């Protein structure tokens, strides 16, 4: 089990010129979580070797003995997830853009997040059948994300819990890489080995590795952009 916390002013190295701070005169304005900040990571590797027919005596011993089974389990909490505001000039979002004082939004990105106005914690669970809490909100183009899977059970309810920051009023709202948490992950791999003793000094070993034997699909986190309500909360590809 590993617990960690990664804090910083950006996700790029200092030599990069394509990531700017919301306030270049105050580097703490965007200080917060880094994109790779995964709070909890758990890895375990187990090996099980049955004790019966361990000596592999006789034909039955060579067939039933010498087996070993080894599962590998990986668990991890979600990564920081940004809720990106709408660019006031282009009606799009480039993580802030020039509407919040950085470089122009087409070629540069900044660590600007929307403002959360609801105290509710939406969690980070998969919902295969998302719905609208208010059917009248369908006019905001909550369409394709309603086919699921989605990070939110009620996409419109989560959408209206965020707004664009107001320049000169909200001040710094960078908070690093995100204000929500993405989807947790888990994966299991499995290894099977068979040792066949030929003589006292010579043996042969066969090994087979099963990658993701449970066929668990790990969908990517959604892109939460206030300008794009049609795919709000929709989980992406593998």
DSSP for 173-211 reads ---BT-SEE---EEEEEEEEEEEEE-SSS-EEEEEEEEE
Per-residue model confidence (pLDDT) at position 145? 55
Pairwise CA distance, residues 174 & 215, whole Å:
38
For all residues of the chain together, what is the average pLDDT?
77
3-state secondary structure of 77: coil
Domain ranges in the chain are: 20-31+82-179+219-238, 40-76+184-217
What pLDDT is recorded for position 82? Answer: 83
SS3 230: coil
pTM of the model: 0.73
CA 156/CA 134 separation, integer angstroms: 7
Residue pLDDT, tens place only, 79-132: 988 888 775 444 444 444 455 555 555 555 556 778 888 876 777 888 888 877
pLDDT value at residue 166: 76
A 10 A CB-CB count for 179 gives 20
Neighbours of 205 (CB within 10 A): 11
Handedness of CA 90, 96, 100, 103 (dihedral sign): negative
Average pLDDT, stretch 70-74? 95
* Helical H segments across 91-180, by residue range: 155-159
**Token digits of residue 218:** 């790990």
- Please tell me the predicted confidence (pLDDT) of residue 137: 65
What percentage of the chain carries pLDDT values higher than 70?
72
Positive/negative CA dihedral, 26, 30, 31, 34: negative
Q: Averaged over 22-49, what is the pLDDT?
A: 82
């Amino acid at each position: 089990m590993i617990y960690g916390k990664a804090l910083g002013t950006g996700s790029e190295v200092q030599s990069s010129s394509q990531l700017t701070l919301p306030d270049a005169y105050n580097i703490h304005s965007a200080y917060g979580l880094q994109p790779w900040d995964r709070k909890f990571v758990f890895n375990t590797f187990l090996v099980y070797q049955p004790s019966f027919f361990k000596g592999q005596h006789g034909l039955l011993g060579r067939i039933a003995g010498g087996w070993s089974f080894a599962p590998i389990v990986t668990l991890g909490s979600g990564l920081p997830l940004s809720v990106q505001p709408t660019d006031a000039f282009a009606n799009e979002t480039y993580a802030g853009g020039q509407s919040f004082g950085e470089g122009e939004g087409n070629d540069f990105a900044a660590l600007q997040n929307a403002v959360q106005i609801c105290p509710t914690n939406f969690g980070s669970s998969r919902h295969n059948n998302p719905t609208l809490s208010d059917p009248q909100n369908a006019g905001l183009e909550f369409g394709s994300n309603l086919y699921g899977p989605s990070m939110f059970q009620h996409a419109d309810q989560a959408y209206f819990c965020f707004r664009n920051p107001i320049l000169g009023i909200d001040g710094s709202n960078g908070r690093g890489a995100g204000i929500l948490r993405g989807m947790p992950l888990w994966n299991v791999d499995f290894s099977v080995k068979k040792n066949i003793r030929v003589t006292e000094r010579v043996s042969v070993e066969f090994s087979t590795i099963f990658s993701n034997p449970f066929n668990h699909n790990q969908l990517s986190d959604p892109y939460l952009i206030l300008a794009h309500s049609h795919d709000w909360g929709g989980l992406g590809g593998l």
